[in-house]
Amino acid sequence: MSADSLSFIIFLPALIAFILMISTKHVETVRNISFITTLIILSLVLKIYIEFEPSARMQFVTNIPWIDSYGINYYIGVDGFSLTILMMIAILIPTLYLYLWEGRTKAYWLNLLLVQTGVTGTLLSLDIILFYFFWEIMLLPVFILIGIFGYGNKIFTTIKVTVFTMAGSLLMFIAILYLGVGYKNEFGVWSFQYTNLMQITIFTYTEKLLMFFAFVSAFAIKIPLFPLHTWIMDTYKNAPTGAVFLLSSIMAKLGIYAIVRFMIPFFPDIYVEFSTWFVFIGLFGLIYFGIAALMQDDIKRMFAYSSASHLSFIAAGIFSLNAYGINGALYLMIAHAIATGGLFLLIGLIQRETGFKTIKDLGGIAKSAPILTFVFAIMLFANIGLPGTNGFVSELLIIFGIFEFNNNLGYIAVLTVIIGASYMLWMFQRAILQERPQGVLKIRDLKMKEILGISPWIILIFLMGIYPDIFINKFEPSVTYFLNDILQIGVNK
C-alpha cells in the first residue's frame, strides 16, 4: 500500500462532507454515503494494519513542504502506537453511525465526517504545526454538535468547553513557536518536524519546564486530568450521544497519545523528573472521580466521572516509566474506548426511548430488553476489568507497572480499582436489573443493525482479553524505543 493511503484516509471524510453539503438535501442520502465512507476507511486501515511490520520506525510516510520558508511540512506517518489508535477509530465510527441511524439531520452527519478527518489528521501528524492545525480542527464539529443538538443549558456548556480547550491550546501554541525558534537559533533553519525538534539542546531547564507544562496543560484538559476536569460533567450531561461518544472514546485518547508522542521525546528529563507526581495525580483522580461517580443519580454524569476515573488510571500508567505500565495504558486506551463508548451509546438509546436519564427513574430494563441488557453487561464487565476481557489485561499490566515504579503507589492502585467495580455494579443493579416501582418501563430491544454494529466490539473485548499478544506486539516496539532510546532507562526500570 502506498504512502498516499494515509492522506486518503485523512481527507476522504472531509471531501465527502463538502460534496454532500452542496449537492443534496436528502438526509438519508447524506447518512448512507457518510456511512459507506467510514466503511471504506475501515477497509483501508485494516489493510494497513495487516501490512504493517512491527517496529519502532514510522511507515507509510509522506513528507512534503507546506510552508517552506518556515520549515513547516505536510509530514505524516504511522508507527505501532498510532496504528493501534487508528484502527480503534476506524472500527468505532461506523458503529456510531449504526446507533445514530434514525432521527438525525444532515448537519449531524456532515459534522461526524469532519470530526473523523480532524482526529485522524491529529493522530498521524509528525509536524507539530500540522498536528496543532488538526488538533484545533477536530474540536469545531464537536462544538457545533453540542451547541445545536445538545440538551439543557447547551450554549453555556459549549462556551465552557470552548474556553477550557482554547486556553490549553493557546499555551501549547506558544510552546510550539518557542520550539521552532529554538531550532532556528541552534541550527540556522526553521523546522517543526517531530524528529528535528528532538535534537534541540540549547534550552535551559526553566525553558524546558515551562514548555513541558504548556503542552501538558492542553493534553490534560482534553483527557481530562484533575484538576482540569470541571468542563467534562456538564458537557457529557448536555451533549448529544454522538458528541459524548467522540469526546470520551476518541478525543480523550488523543490527549494521552500526544503526551507519549511529544512529551517523552521533547522533554525526556522533565518527563522522568515529574513522573512520580503524575502517577500520584492519576491515582488520586482514579479515587476522586470514582467516589464522585458513586454519588451521582444522573446516569450520564455518573459515566462522565467513570470515564475520567479510567482515563486518570491510564495517565498513571503512561508515567510509570516501564514497559508494563505503558503497554497496559495503551491497551486500556483501546479497551476503555470500546467498553465506555458502547455504554454511552446504550445509555443514549435508553434515554431516547424512555425519556429518563436518572437512575431512580430507570429499572426493569432486563425484562423489556434482554439483548440490550446482555450487551450492557458485557461492556460493563469489560469496563470493570473482569478476567477474560480486555479491561482485565489492561488494568493488570498497569498495576504491575505501578508496583515496579513504586510499591506504595502500587498498593493504592490495587485497592482503588475496587471503586470502579462498586459504582458500576450498583448502577447496573438499580438501573437495569431491579424492578421499577412505578411500573414496567417500555423500551425496545436492540435492532438487528445495532446488534451487527456492536458484535465486532464484543469479539474484540474477548479476543483482546484472551490473546493480548496479537495486539500488543504491534505497539510494543514503539514502547521499547521510547524507554530505551529516548528515556534511556531500559524496558524494565
**Concatenated DSSP letters for 299-341?**
HHHHHHHHHHHHHHHHHHHHTS-SHHHHHHHHHHHHHHHHHHH
pLDDT of 245 > 90? The answer is no
CB atoms within 10 A of CB 64: 10
| pLDDT, position 439 | 63
**3 state SS of 72:** strand
Banded pLDDT at 39 (limits 50, 70, 90): very high
**What is the rounded distance in angstroms from the CA atom of residue 64 to the CA atom of residue 68?**
9
Cβ pair 92, 250 in contact under 8 A: yes
Grid cell, residue 419, equals 471503586
- Tell me which long-range contacts 133-140 makes (C-beta under 8 A, separation of at least 24): 135/169, 135/172, 135/218, 135/254, 135/258, 136/169, 138/251, 138/254, 139/165, 139/251, 140/114
Per-residue pLDDT tens for 93-116? Answer: 888 888 888 778 888 899 999 999
| pLDDT, position 9 | 92
Q: 3-36: string of b/e by CB count within 10 Å (b at 16+)?
A: eebbbebbebbbebbeebeeeeeeeeebbebbbe
Rounded to two decimals, the pTM is 0.88
Grid cell, residue 483, equals 524507554
Which of the 8 DSSP states describes residue 78? E
Q: What is the mean pLDDT of the chain?
A: 85
Cβ pair 436, 363 in contact under 8 A: yes
pLDDT of 194 > 90? The answer is no
Question: What sign results for the dihedral spanned by CA atoms 108, 110, 111, 117?
Answer: positive
**What is the rounded distance in angstroms from the CA atom of residue 481 to the CA atom of residue 82?**
14
Per-residue pLDDT tens for 406-462? Answer: 888 888 888 777 777 777 888 888 778 777 666 667 778 888 888 888 888 889 899
| pLDDT, position 3 | 60
Banded pLDDT at 241 (limits 50, 70, 90): confident
| pLDDT, position 107 | 87
Which of the 8 DSSP states describes residue 360? G
- Rounded to 5 degrees, φ, ψ at 60 are 55, 45
Q: Which of 79, 76, 77 is nearest to 54 (CA)?
A: 79
**What is the rounded distance in angstroms from the CA atom of residue 319 to the CA atom of residue 321?**
6
Banded pLDDT at 1 (limits 50, 70, 90): low
Banded pLDDT at 491 (limits 50, 70, 90): very low
C-alpha torsion 101→105→110→116, nearest 10:
-40
Residue 227: asked if its preceding bond is cis (omega within 30°), the reply is yes
**What is the rounded distance in angstroms from the CA atom of residue 355 to the CA atom of residue 303?**
18
Which of the 8 DSSP states describes residue 193? B
Per-residue pLDDT tens for 156-172? Answer: 777 887 888 888 889 99
Task: Give the residue-averaged pLDDT of 136-156.
Answer: 81
Q: How far is CA 219 from the centre of its chain?
A: 11
Residue 224: asked if its preceding bond is cis (omega within 30°), the reply is yes
Cβ pair 39, 14 in contact under 8 A: no
Grid cell, residue 159, equals 462556551
| pLDDT, position 174 | 93
Task: Give the residue-averaged pLDDT of 386-397.
Answer: 87
